[in-house]
Structure 1
């Protein structure tokens, strides 16, 4: 899971529907997504590739990228995007996201011994020529778990590895459950766990970290200074197909082939990621300024007839949401702590705000139908785990008013007051983006005004992306509700995002029932598919009722690709961390 900058557009492919089997869809069953369409392809036409050439890739953002070139410390989608030519996962998957033996490392689980064995392939080398080692895998866990790095990646899920909790709390100098049978320079790592989980066979499970960090390159940097170091910011090391040639801070990254790449030399000579404003995206596509560019949904009509490009698309595992701040992260205890007196602690107030949002209508209006409301926090792409009986919050002003009236939020003139009669102002944090962000947020504020709720934007305006996530992650005062989005892991466990012990639970809600359901959906009983699906259904129903986090919409994700390129695919087996396999992308002969 990665924090998402903003969901762009999205397309639909039968392959996207096929991935439902990834997370336990019954064998032989079929699920049709109501948003499916055949007008988009899942990949560029297959042609004979040739060697050489430079491509330019648009990174659409209205703010400079942060520039954290390390997966253990990275939290923004923009950083992940611009890192993608070098940042390769340890594991490849099939089209159902199940880990296979085709990637840089292999994975074996032993339920009886409670061990996870990772073996790095011989010849998988960092771009300086050094073999990726067992210590590099251990070091990645240390970066995540050492409090001095302040990594947002740490979650209580990692405590399943013996000694991880003690290391995170500073009670141990090493993680006792990580064994290197052939020594630090060997290629085998054995993780000794308290128990194994059903999702561990799949990528994105949240228990097994799927990256390595170059220990030999970073070992002399204090953990507290790692994120700001030149080795992370200016001269990162990767074992993927490309290596960094040049970084223009916040603006562009130029990649050239990694001559030590284990799969052989990539076809392209150079990949240049360049920041471009979302408002300029359509013009850039029409002018062929970039070889690869994401279509901004609200600009689809402007670009759909552009010649010289192929449009490929998918429905991503993702959703946007509205969340209510009801507590804080306790760094000392490594857990979320609710505030019993939080302004948004009343379920009635949260539900009323959700019912008064005209989400489906407003996004369909502004995106030509390429965005659509989602009912629950588990997308339909997860097959049996999706609870089709949960209706979510459809637009209903009458019901919103009834809920507030019953809960004692009385009107005093234009605005409602708290049940104790005191004034009520709700502070909304929303991030900037393309040109439709402002009118959509103003629309919601007007909808809430219709039921007597006085909602104001924090600072009186949309918040710049980097500042937005800094405020959300660090529980900045004066925020009652915020609008954000997730790019989801391909294994649907909710512990990474909504458990008591994960920093990514930005709402900071913690309830006994939520904790119980999340534990049950990842328990030993959940190796039984039907049991696990039932627990997912219970959790979705519970979360919609409690309304701490309200799912809003998802979108078609459409990429405009230079028609002369081949090898660009959005099939799960042909992607790496949500990006195309860059070593396959090439100009056609």
Structure 2
């Protein structure tokens, strides 16, 4: 692994950045929010703390007390919203589904506490001298939950499916994992019968070939692997709707637990996989329960809830009460994710997301001066101080402070300034007509804002934004909130009545590259923003050979952040600290900067 180790250290490992969804990896709808995502503090293990962290006196690495691990028992883990019930990793979009997938599916590599890539389904790997080829050597004793062997053919099938011509139109959004592979353009266009960039050398060796030297090769090949023998006969265009995506006993992975039953919107039962390749899990079962934030504290105190993960974690308002519980331990971390308000710059059918000829400009939000005025009018500082009790940060660009790509001086800062917002609107021709302003042509002007349920702070933010904007004369129609899954379906389907929407996003733990969401051709470009300079700066930051120099990448991301803040395709709102909580009798959890669900086979319950 000498070459791979060198590549990591040169390109990625000065980054302490991670979330979703979830890879990328955890997303909450168009979020990788709450993902994934995804996503933290510099080189922090669970036995360390800094000014953003509190480990509540837990000084043992991986939460291990003295004594031997015990087998048996069931734990209940909580999340605030129900999954979207899309348990095919190729098509999931929410962090709630990822809570299930992270325990049932695995990838070739994963990341440790310091965000270094380490083996998972692959035990070793190497690059060629040009860094255009990456060869993985796979574990040989891995089986799927139905007992079938895991092989290199499953890896080829996974990445070929992501590159399939019907993938995006079927709802797939992970194209960034395949788009750098040799032959991708021909394959996705239907001009080639095979994807040249991924090949099974033998049953336990797979080779990825990239069009150009790939500075993100390990991150790009770190997606969940799915089973060819389960999905191979299903056309990619039909996979998302096939029973294998939502029927418990048809969801077959290689992870330590498998989904055996669920009551939709209530609880999801995962039983241990006794033949798991790293050894049978200590726990018998993990039950994910959808809980209301209002009863979360009582459930923790009464030992009814053993683990509270993101999205959400412990609300900051309840943190002191939870920390005082003798039966609960907490850890607070800065999240790599953030909440934002996006503008719908273009409308158009979702099944032609990548066909810009079908995009219709949303004239109501095209004016950059309007977007700048809105940024000044929103009291983001009040969200952090008032709603989060200071457990968060106002965001002025898309890189959290934990990222090596963060530069406090790069973005323009739009502080809360009602006078400045009014001045900008006046100069841009939005004139008062009674209680509200007209558009520059003198017509009635109303912006529609949509938002999801499931995140209490975000739910409270939405009407405040409405009040803030109406204070400067912008009439806002605040649509009734929908369940997260329905909200993000509406966002993805590009509802023509939607002008603005609230969501969250977590940057992937492997690399700060934002192109998976902001590139105009990205499947996750739900705002439908299209700007040549915007795209160019993102692509320059990941294009070899210059991008092998991290100083160069930092410079490009500084330029991109400045341009981002000039144009404001979305308005970053805040990054909320994540406060994890677990029962003191639950041991073996590894708190990583980007997630806590790795190595769940090592969790055990003191009984």
Q: Which residue of 1 aligns with 2:229?
A: 216
1:87 aligns with 2:111: no
CA distance in 1, matches of 2:304, 2:347: 44
CA distance in 1, matches of 2:442, 2:598: 56
Q: Which residue of 1 aligns with 2:270?
A: 255
1:159 aligns with 2:179: yes
Q: Which residue of 2 aligns with 1:485?
A: 504
- Contact kept, 8 Å, 2:540 with 2:547, in 1: the verdict is yes
Q: Which residue of 1 aligns with 2:15?
A: none
Counterparts of 1:136-151 in structure 2 under 5 Å?
A: 136-149=154-167, 150-151=170-171
1:198 aligns with 2:215: yes
CA distance 1:121–1:86, change in 2 (3 Å):
same
Counterparts of 1:130-141 in structure 2 under 5 Å?
A: 130-141=148-159
Q: Which residue of 2 aligns with 1:187?
A: 204
- Contact kept, 8 Å, 1:387 with 1:537, in 2: the verdict is no
Q: Which residue of 1 aligns with 2:382?
A: 361
TM-score scaled by structure 1? 0.88
CA distance 1:387–1:152, change in 2 (3 Å):
farther
- Contact kept, 8 Å, 1:327 with 1:336, in 2: the verdict is no
1:18 aligns with 2:38: no
Q: Which residue of 2 aligns with 1:555?
A: 576
Counterparts of 1:479-558 in structure 2 under 5 Å?
A: 479-490=498-509, 491-524=511-544, 525-558=546-579
Residue 4 of structure 1, aligned match among 25, 28, 32: 28
Structure 1: segments with no counterpart, 5+ residues: 21-31
Residue 276 of structure 1, aligned match among 273, 291, 311: 291
CA distance 1:198–1:501, change in 2 (3 Å):
same
Question: Deviation of residue 425 (structure 1)?
Answer: 0.2
- Contact kept, 8 Å, 2:384 with 2:393, in 1: the verdict is yes
Output one character per residue of 1:414-454: Cα deviation in whole Å (capped at 9) or x when no partner. 11111111110000011112544443221111111111000
1:403 aligns with 2:424: yes
CA distance 1:95–1:304, change in 2 (3 Å):
closer
* Aligned-CA RMSD value: 2.8
CA distance in 1, matches of 2:171, 2:362: 29
CA distance in 2, matches of 1:103, 1:96: 19
Q: Which residue of 2 aligns with 1:587?
A: 605
Deviates further, 127-136 or 396-405: 127-136
State the SS of the aligned residue for 2:179.
helix
Output one character per residue of 1:292-339: Cα deviation in whole Å (capped at 9) or x when no partner. 123133433443322311112322221111111101467457255664
Output one character per residue of 1:330-363: Cα deviation in whole Å (capped at 9) or x when no partner. 7457255664452101001111111111112123
Question: Deviation of residue 141 (structure 1)?
Answer: 1.5
1:77 aligns with 2:95: yes
CA distance 1:67–1:285, change in 2 (3 Å):
same
TM-score scaled by structure 2? 0.86
State the SS of the aligned residue for 1:310.
strand
Counterparts of 1:364-383 in structure 2 under 5 Å?
A: 364-383=385-404
CA distance in 2, matches of 1:39, 1:386: 31
State the SS of the aligned residue for 2:482.
coil
- Contact kept, 8 Å, 1:49 with 1:587, in 2: the verdict is no
1:322 aligns with 2:341: yes
- Contact kept, 8 Å, 2:52 with 2:332, in 1: the verdict is no
Q: Which residue of 1 aligns with 2:315?
A: 296
CA distance 1:389–1:232, change in 2 (3 Å):
closer
Q: Which residue of 2 aligns with 1:23?
A: none
- Contact kept, 8 Å, 1:427 with 1:456, in 2: the verdict is yes
CA distance in 2, matches of 1:161, 1:223: 19
Structure 2: segments with no counterpart, 5+ residues: 1-23
